[in-house]
């Protein structure tokens, strides 16, 4: 007997074979019609969302989670607008990535094609349901959406609206498949259906990514978390460097590309910390200070005790997702490179410098997905990279690194043509 999850996955697989060949204009039409339909049913969606929010409040879920769960007028507008934006982006399917004729006279062409079926496992934010459905549809992939239990009512309504449009337009409804279940075992089962699902994209915290990495027999795009570092060297323009550090930390502290650890060259530490103090107070940044020298420095400089904590070595492996920030003094760029290696920099790291050789050595030696010279770590983002949209941020090395846009939702296929050609 086929299980519920298996039948969903098989349905998505069947739909994917048709979706792969859908003309761009049809896909764009569907996206715009879905956006219109969702927009027209604003109050229905917000009513369902209110149920989820009420239940989260009743269950005393963390306020941050309840916030992520909540759809309001502006978030709703952004969600619908995002779908229309995806309709306007170029179709990533059918690009000829390469082509040549080899000596045997075989003509080879490397062409972008959809993955097939993309499984997305995510947490509270209900807009992900619409975002991912749009990106997968545009890239010719069927999707299987498994959202967080907290957002079930909202997700159900959003999925229902999308289904209505697919049905009305005669599109296989498996194209946007929704797992209407809160059973954790269903996630586990999903992760083993490699005969139907081509790739798994987890959207959520580290625990979710680890679960997928451990249990999935399907390739997983791991990402969305990681320690972000910045190093201010002895040559940097310190007043401008402070701005970049502040921007990296406070522009969106809960984002995965927010700064976690600041490393200061010994020779500029005192001056830099002097410039930083008023801004820390203004923004409420809590410095987690490492080392005696720096502890005495912040006392001397008159930092408020309430904005200082004592740093432990293991804090260097903590992604704060808050206004907290590790600060430490280093003696050299070599020490920085070692620190980044020991603490597994994989996401986004920045050097602030006016020294060309330091910039070059930092870029060449730091192994993370995105390395910056004199720019904030916050730039690691599909929109900022000009990709127009973002499915996830990858911190793994296979297939995609950093922002994953529409193009990265495709794979490729080789097409070889000959004149009844045999291999010699």
Q: How far is the CB of 412 from its own copies (least distance, A)?
A: 6
Q: Tell me which of 36, 172, 186, 243 binds its own copies, using CB under 8 A.
A: 243
Q: Which is nearer to its own copies, 204 or 382 (CB)?
A: 382
Give the helix/strand (H/E) hosting 224.
none
Q: Tell me which of 241, 256, 336, 392 binds its own copies, using CB under 8 A.
A: 241
Burial class of residue 285 (count of CB atoms within 10 Å of its CB; 0-12, 13-18, 19+)? buried
Mapping DSSP to helix (H, G, I), strand (E, B) and coil, where does residue 377 land?
helix
Residues 70-129 contacting its own copies, CB under 8 A: 100, 102-104, 106, 108, 113, 115-116
Distance CA 138, CA 119 (A): 15
Q: Which is nearer to its own copies, 322 or 396 (CB)?
A: 396
The number of residues that bind its own copies (CB under 8 A) is 70
**Do 257 and 251 contact (CB within 8 A), yes or no?**
no
- Spell out, one character per residue from 249 to 268, where the chain touches its own copies: x when CB under 8 A holds, - when not: --x-----------------
Q: Which is nearer to its own copies, 77 or 98 (CB)?
A: 98
Q: How far is the CB of 294 from its own copies (least distance, A)?
A: 23
Q: How far is the CB of 262 from its own copies (least distance, A)?
A: 15
**Do 391 and 408 contact (CB within 8 A), yes or no?**
yes
Distance CA 273, CA 211 (A): 40
Residues 266-305 contacting its own copies, CB under 8 A: none
Contacts of 96 (CB under 8 A, 6+ apart): 109, 110, 111
From the CA atom positions of the chain, what is the Rg in Å? 24
Structure tokens given for 223? 């990402």
Q: How far is the CB of 23 from its own copies (least distance, A)?
A: 12
In angstroms, what CA-CA distances link 158 with 28, 126, 147, 162, 199? 18, 9, 12, 6, 23
Torsion of CA 51, 53, 56, 60, to 10 degrees: -130
Sheet holding 324-330, edge to edge: 308-310, 286-289, 324-330, 261-265, 229-232, 348-352
Distance CA 270, CA 264 (A): 9
Q: Tell me which of 219, 274, 291, 388 binds its own copies, using CB under 8 A.
A: 219
Structure tokens given for 230? 């910045």
64 forms part of the interface with its own copies (CB under 8 A)? no
Q: Which is nearer to its own copies, 154 or 394 (CB)?
A: 394
Tokens 């920030």 sit at which residue?
Answer: 325
Displacement of CA 169 from its chain's centroid (Å)? 31
Q: Which is nearer to its own copies, 64 or 398 (CB)?
A: 398
In angstroms, what CA-CA distances link 153 with 69, 297, 316, 417? 11, 52, 39, 51
Give the helix/strand (H/E) hosting 253.
none
Residues 188-217 contacting its own copies, CB under 8 A: 194-195, 198-199, 213-214, 217
Residues 391-410 contacting its own copies, CB under 8 A: 396-399, 401-402
- Spell out, one character per residue from 18 to 47, where the chain touches its own copies: x when CB under 8 A holds, - when not: --xx--------------------------
Q: Which is nearer to its own copies, 57 or 97 (CB)?
A: 97
Q: Which is nearer to its own copies, 237 or 335 (CB)?
A: 237
Q: Which is nearer to its own copies, 171 or 241 (CB)?
A: 241
323 forms part of the interface with its own copies (CB under 8 A)? no
Q: How far is the CB of 420 from its own copies (least distance, A)?
A: 4
Q: Tell me which of 376, 391, 404, 406 binds its own copies, using CB under 8 A.
A: 376
Residues lying near its own copies in the complex (CB under 8 A) are found at 17, 20-21, 100, 102-104, 106, 108, 113, 115-116, 194-195, 198-199, 213-214, 217, 219-220, 237, 240-241, 243-244, 247, 251, 341, 344, 352, 359, 363-365, 367-376, 378-380, 384-386, 396-399, 401-402, 411-423
């Amino acid at each position: 007997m086929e299980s519920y999850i298996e039948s969903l996955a098989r349905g998505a697989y069947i739909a994917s074979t048709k979706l792969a060949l859908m003309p761009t204009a049809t896909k764009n039409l569907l996206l715009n019609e879905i956006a219109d339909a969702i927009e027209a049913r604003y109050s229905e969606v917000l009513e369902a969302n209110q149920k989820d929010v009420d239940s989260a409040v009743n269950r005393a879920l963390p306020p941050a989670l309840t916030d992520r769960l909540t759809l309001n007028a502006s978030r709703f507008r952004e969600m619908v607008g995002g779908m229309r934006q995806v309709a306007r982006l170029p179709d990533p399917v059918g690009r000829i990535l390469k082509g040549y004729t080899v000596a045997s006279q075989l003509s080879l062409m490397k062409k972008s094609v959809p993955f097939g079926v993309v499984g997305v496992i995510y947490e509270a934010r209900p807009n992900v349901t619409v975002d991912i459905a749009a990106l997968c549809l545009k890239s010719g992939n069927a999707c299987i959406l498994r959202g967080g239990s907290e957002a079930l009512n909202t997700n159900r309504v959003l999925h229902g609206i999308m289904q209505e449009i697919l049905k009305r337009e005669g599109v296989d409804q498996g194209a946007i498949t929704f797992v209407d279940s809160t059973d954790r075992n269903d996630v586990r089962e999903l992760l083993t259906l490699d005969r139907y699902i081509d790739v798994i994209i987890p959207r959520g915290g580290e625990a979710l990514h680890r679960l997928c990495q451990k249990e999935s027999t399907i390739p997983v795009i791991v990402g969305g978390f990681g320690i972000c570092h910045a190093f201010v060297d002895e040559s940097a323009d310190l007043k401008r460097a402070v701005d970049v550090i502040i921007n990296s930390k406070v522009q969106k502290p809960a984002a995965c590309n927010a700064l976690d650890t600041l490393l200061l060259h010994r020779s500029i530490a005192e001056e830099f910390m002097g410039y930083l103090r008023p801004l820390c107070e203004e923004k409420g940044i809590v410095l987690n200070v490492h080392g005696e020298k720096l502890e005495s420095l912040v006392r001397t400089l008159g930092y408020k005790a309430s904005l200082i904590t004592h740093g432990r070595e293991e804090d260097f492996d903590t992604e704060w997702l808050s206004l907290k920030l590790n600060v430490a003094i280093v003696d050299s760029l070599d020490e920085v490179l070692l620190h980044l290696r020991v603490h597994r920099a994989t996401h986004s790291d920045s050097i602030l410098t006016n020294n060309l050789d330091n910039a070059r050595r930092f870029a060449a030696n730091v192994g993370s997905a995105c390395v910056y010279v004199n720019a904030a770590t916050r730039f690691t983002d599909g929109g900022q990279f000009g990709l127009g949209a973002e499915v996830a941020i990858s911190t793994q090395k296979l297939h995609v690194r950093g922002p994953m846009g529409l193009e990265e939702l495709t794979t490729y296929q080789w097409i070889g043509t000959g004149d009844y050609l045999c291999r010699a």
